[in-house]
A = this chain, B = another copy of it.
Amino acid sequence: MKRKFLVAIAAASLYMGTASAMRPVTIVDQGSFFAGGTMTETPGRMDFQKPLNQHGQTMHGDHAYVFYQRPANAKQYPLVFLHGAGQSAKTWETTPDGRDGFQNIFLERGFSTYLVDQPRRGKAGQSTQPAALTADTYDQFWFSNFRVGNWDDASHSPGYFDGVQFSKTKEALNQYLRQMTPNTGPYDAGVISDAMAAIFEKAGEGVLVTHSQGGGIGWLTAIKSGKVKGIVSYEPGSGFIFPEGETPPPVKTTHPMGDLAANSVPMADFLKLTKIPIVIYYGDFIADSYTKEWNKDGWRARLEMARLWAETVNRHGGDATVVHLPDVGVTGNTHFPFSDLNNIEVADLMEAWLQEKGLAE
């Protein structure tokens, strides 16, 4: 059997022209579904002979879309992956330079995976609210904000950070910038966390893995669903929630999107976050102190807020850990540690944490 697998690996590598293909995985089930969502209706009575008149017709929207895979002999808890702002489930798939993302890495390690497009994004694009899509040009903003480098016209190049864990080929950058996909309706944390809770109703108990803006959604999901057994959050960017009366003031930053404010929730809700283990990871190129280098400063503010938040969770009896990757010897990471060049090392850290918390059995 082993010999056959090796032949298969060689064939797959030739096929896609990549240096590294996934290890063969036997899939016993895979598929997709929509979860959550609502329905709107135009008042009036519909007439079959006038089908382009909207009176009496409905529209189903605001659901999440999920693609799941279950490997043979899967571990008990599936991993449910939620992307961040401007992204889709593509975040977790093949990396921009063509290597395995967390989807394949964790399938290979025996975990079921659920990849989500949140409501009003990607394959879950049908929104009950209208939206104006403006085709704006913000590649260089996102590139710098995601800490791949400081892109500036003066250098006529992307200005990659020294030691950054990101391929410098043109095609990797091309693939990376095409990962962005717009909101098809207003961003609404309540709508998204409702749909996420509905996913856990279908998937059963599992571990939620979030990225960036998805981090805030993750806390809300765990409040809404008792089926979230743990949370791994990569670089949560906003939506930190504190108990009413314990909410810190905004953290000042030079980031163009402004100072980072925290939100309040009733204590009873907050305490639900003390019942599950939570780990938060941040990458490299984050400032130590206030600086005009707005991208490094914006993430400094987020890392500071994450530490305040974890302290608050733990003070109330919880189990939240913040890991700044350079502090544990893992360097060069951007805002996307799970797809960076060292993502196997990043996955090893996550899997070790899952094992420590009894979530990888």
Residues of A at the B interface (CB closer than 8 Å) are 4, 8-9, 11-12, 15-16, 21-22, 24-34, 37, 40-42, 45-52, 54, 56-61, 63, 65, 67, 70, 72, 88-90, 93-94, 98, 100-101, 104, 117, 121-141, 144-145, 150-153, 174-175, 177-182, 184-185, 204, 256, 292, 294-295
CA of A181 to CA of B124, assembled, Å: 7
Residue of B nearest to A94 (CB): B31
Sort A-B residue pairs by CB-CB distance and give the 10 closest, nearest first: A31-B94, A125-B181, A12-B29, A48-B152, A51-B141, A34-B178, A59-B137, A8-B28, A32-B93, A60-B177
Report the minimum CB–CB distance from A322 to chain B (whole Å). 26
Which residue, of A138, A178, A256, has the highest number of chain B Cβ atoms within 10 A? A178
List 18 A–B pairs whose Cβ atoms lie within 8 Å, in order of A's numbering. A8-B72, A9-B28, A12-B28, A16-B29, A22-B31, A31-B94, A31-B98, A32-B94, A49-B294, A51-B294, A56-B140, A57-B137, A57-B139, A58-B139, A59-B136, A61-B135, A88-B122, A181-B184
Known A27-B27, A57-B140, A60-B174; judge A130-B129 contact (CB<8 A).
no
**A22-B30, A33-B175, A178-B34 are contacts. A135–B51 as well, Cβ < 8 Å?**
no
- Look across to chain B and name the residue whose beta carbon is closest to the beta carbon of A124: B181
Cβ-neighbour of A123 out of B89, B94, B126 (below 8 A)? B89
Q: How far is the CA of A108 from the CA of B153 in the complex (A)?
A: 51
Residue of B nearest to A255 (CB): B51
Query: Is B184 a contact of A182 with CB atoms below 8 Å?
Result: yes
CA distance A40 to B139 in the complex (A): 10
Q: How far is the CB of A93 from chain B (nearest CB, A)?
A: 4
How far is it, in angstroms, between the C-alpha of A15 and the C-alpha of B61 when the chains are bound? Answer: 26
User: In the complex, A101→B144 CA distance in Å?
Assistant: 41
CB contact between A51 and one of B33, B101, B104, B145 (< 8 Å): that residue: B145
The reply to whether B40 and A135 form a contact with Cβ atoms under 8 Å apart is yes
Do B135 and A30 touch across chains, with their CB atoms under 8 A apart? no
Question: Taking A104-B31, A181-B125, A184-B133 as contacts, is the C-beta distance between A138 and B59 under 8 angstroms?
Answer: yes
Query: CB distance A144 to B51 under 8 Å?
Result: yes
